[in-house]
Amino acid sequence: MTIPEPCGHDSPMENGSMEMPCTPEEERRIVEELTAKAEANLREGNLYYVISSRWFMAWLRYIGKIEDDYPFDSHSVGPPSVAPSNAKDRPGPMDNSGIVMNGVENKNEDLQLLRNLEERRDYVLVPEEVWEMLLKWYKGGPVLQRKMISIGEQHAQFSVEVFPVQLRLIDSRDQSEAAIWLSKKASLLSLYEKVCQLKGLDPQKVCIWDYFNKQKQTILISSSKTLEESNIQMDQDILLEEPVDGSTEDSTGNSLAMVPVEPIRSTYSIAGGPSMSNGHSSSYNSIVPRQSLTYGDTEDGHDGLKPVTRGDRGLAGLQNLGNTCFMNSALQCLVHTPHLVDYFFQDYSDEINKQNPLGLRGELALAFGELLRKLWSSGRTPVAPRVFKGKLARFAPQFSGYNQHDSQELLAFLLDGLHEDLNRVRQKPYIETKDYDGQPDEEVADEFWKNHKARNDSVIVDNCQGQYKSTLVCPDCDKISITFDPFMYLSLPLPSTATRSMTVTVFYGDGSSLPKPFTVTVLKQGSCKDLDQALGIACCLPSDEYLLLAEVYEHRIYRYLESPSEPLAAIKDDEHIVAYRLPKGGADLTRLEIYHRYQDNESKLFLTPLVTVLEDPQSGADIYLAVERMLSPLRRKEFVTSIRIDDSKENGSSSSTPEEQMNTCTGQLGPAIQSMEEVEGDEVSSKDFIFQLCITDDNGYSWNPIMKDSPIKPGRLTKSSLEWTEKEHEFYDASSVQVIPEVHKSQIFASKTKQEAVSLFSCLDAFLKEEPLGPDDMWYCPQCKEHRQASKKLDLWRLPDILVIHLKRFSYSKWLKNKLDTFVDFPIHNLDVSKYVKNKDVSEDSYMYELYAISNHYGGLGGGHYSAYCKLIDGNRWYHFDDSHVSPVSESEIKTSAAYVLFYRRVKLNSNGTMGESSEDHWAMAFLAHASKCDGKCDGCGTGRAIDIT
């Protein structure tokens, strides 16, 4: 792509600070082309520049890129003076001074961003070419340059490293401290060079220790090994020492040569093979006794010789490595899952899959297993999961930094990674998709599950995966497609997020009654079919009528909502939706739209349009009769009474019959109005009909008066209008059609009240209810050979022993992510989900579950915090795991509105069908019996023996 030169003037502006390009449109074109070119050439090492969002959004408004207000303008960091008062004003020089940490004037240090900044809210990243162009046009600064790096291994991604690793350098000679910044991809050689340059030392005559938690972990040898590979964390300490005669001393005073020193740890890995420095075993076959991690283990914060009592097992916290509370919460729930504890305490070396390209060659599973054992054998001493975090980042690069993430998202990636690392299938077979039309569901489901297990077979599949029945129905040809898909967890919408309250005004197409507003509750992701059904029930719609939905805008029918599959998401809360009750009929019915106009201003409409149907109208007389019928409910009482009296006198009768009076009140043609043939002359008598009626074409550009003998052009739609004067207002009360309510009126100034509790079962109901697919998730119908917005219905078919339930508290919009703090009332004991399981042939399985762990999220989105409630496997006791802090909690306290991910385990059935002891209780007894045999000297068990729970 050829990028044009900017057409700015050579001479600067009067203040000498900026060049003036041609137009805002020219600036926009140049920057967009430069951005597109940079995005097409992404590679590691590309330079990007940080710009304050406050200035950048002002520039975007100036060039016409955005028109609405940026929602973070009042919250973003930076001098407010850079934001122009007029969106079309050209912004001043770029000003990044408000987002840097150590000031503009400090030229001796790299400028770093404030640590609480968020991308888009506080800053944006632009390619080098864009920065150079903006700097040429606007000047300003300071310059904040960042590099693009590659993160992850199996699923590598490009990412701009906005926040380099900050380290606290401690000089052992004088105990002075200094802060240094390096990329996580920087080598240990670069670390030595930077430290020695700062201190004026020879890199060959010093050594640097990994001084995590103020304890010597390992010597960092000057090499090409990166900080990331060395498990160096943000904000941790490193220790500078000058060795004497080429050696240094460890924390116990022993002289050590300048070689890598691994922390004191067991000789053998948990899987049974010799442990390597990277946590990966070189052999998975030898099973030999291993030393206890309980005594003398000093890695990641352990104090050394500290015996663990039986009552302290499983009560170790996890250190926060920098916004890692989300990870700690999910990990505590998993390491207190009995099935996983049982598995990782045994020898699982034979199941490590080193060939699976979808995993991490077993390294993630090994790191998790080591961490699990450490947590169960460390007493109450917190553990820092540095090695595990590094392995996880290589598998899921999005977790490599120090930003807050979602505990459920991490849980999903971690379970998937553990499954791939432990997949017993070494060569996945190719399985061709078959057509299962006409076969029983049980046979099809078993076939799907068999095919799934042929490619995916691990401890995660055994215990954590279930099966859905998914039914898709084509809205055009009614083609039904049924599949049976595996799932790892259930993501349940909260009813307040799954449903929506909508107010629709129902008009009676036969003129039998005044319009009435109805408020109904429908699925937020539902369709017009759902709204139509809910309204039909609310207004007692008879079987011979249907509802015609329409949007009214500026007193016109803006559009009809006639497609049943049209998503309700297309209807905004501030819109006005009406429904016309019309009789079901054939194709020969003509729809008549009736609009209202001021006689002195023909172009101005008011009131709400009325709609009725006519059967083969021939002349204006048919239109007049239909309009009079529709207006009859609007007549004022005194006007109706006067007509009755006058008509009775003319007919020679002093009163009308009850039937005639009822017909008059309900708008049917009674004595007040007979037929149009009785009306003499070209105009209708003011006693019977006082309006001037006009008619127009479908476009509605011009209105022409219509008489009773005017011919009507045949068609499916006829538009007419009534001209209102003060006289008409005397006879008709139009208040009921003057203002119709919005779909939903937000209570902006309403006081915030306590939200009612929502049942977990109502969340399940909302999750399993039929709903249409979104416009971006169309289904290809094999019968229509087209993509269709099919309706989808999920059913539970097969449930796992470990049932993980995710409550969808977060929603996303254009700029923001919102959280719902609704209290969900979930069972702790005896969660019975049998009624939701469609497979009734699996009688040997229990559908009763017990809660054993909860991942909680507290507070808002920017400064939120995660913790966990876990039930200890060796007793009926609950504990609160809040990073490093662990404290007991009563069962009555674990139900809160912070509950985010719920962990349930299946309760086994006895042979007679009654509930017996849980697998958790059975495991706990076996664990304690095993531990007692080892006299408390194993780490459950550090001898390499498997726990027998058979």
Tokens 């629709």 belong to which residue?
504
Task: Tell me the C-alpha to C-alpha distance, in Å, between residue 2 and each of 30, 34, 728, 826.
Answer: 11, 9, 69, 61
Residue 522: partners with Cβ closer than 8 Å, 6 or more residues away: 499, 500, 502, 530, 531, 534, 568
Q: Is 865 a catalytic residue?
A: yes
Q: At CB < 8 A and 24+ separation, what contacts does 181-187 make?
A: 181/110, 181/112, 182/227, 183/147, 183/149, 183/227, 184/149, 184/226, 184/227, 184/228, 184/232, 184/400, 185/149, 185/161, 185/226, 185/227, 185/228, 186/226, 186/227, 187/223, 187/224, 187/225, 187/226, 187/227
Task: Render 335-400 in DSSP notation, one character per residue.
Answer: HT-HHHHHHHHS--GGG--SS-TTTTTTHHHHHHHHHHHHHHHSTT--B--HHHHHHHHHHSGGGS
Sign (positive or negative) of CA dihedral 336, 338, 341, 345 = positive
Active-site residue, from 405, 806, 865, 930:
865
CA distance 825 to 828: 9
Residues linked to residue 177 through DSSP beta bridges, in sequence order:
170
- Find the helix or strand (DSSP H, E) in which 464 lies: helix 459-464
> Is the peptide bond preceding residue 80 cis, with omega within 30 degrees of 0?
no
Burial of 461: CB neighbours in 10 Å, binned 0-12, 13-18, 19+: buried
The total of other beta-carbon atoms located within 10 Å of residue 213's CB is 16
| Spatial contact of 713 and 588, defined as CB atoms under 8 Å apart | no
How many Cα neighbours within 13 Å face the side chain of 152?
13
Strand order in the sheet with 176-182: 176-182, 165-171, 237-241, 207-210, 219-220
Which position among 207, 325, 474, 539 bears the catalytic label?
325
Q: Is there a cis peptide before residue 941, judged by omega within 30 degrees of 0?
A: yes
> Which residues make Cβ contacts (< 8 Å) with residue 403, sequence separation at least 6?
323
* Residues 248/241, Cβ–Cβ less than 8 Å: yes
DSSP 528: H
Give the span between the Cα atoms of 754 and 747, in whole angstroms.
15
Q: Which residues are catalytic?
A: 325, 865
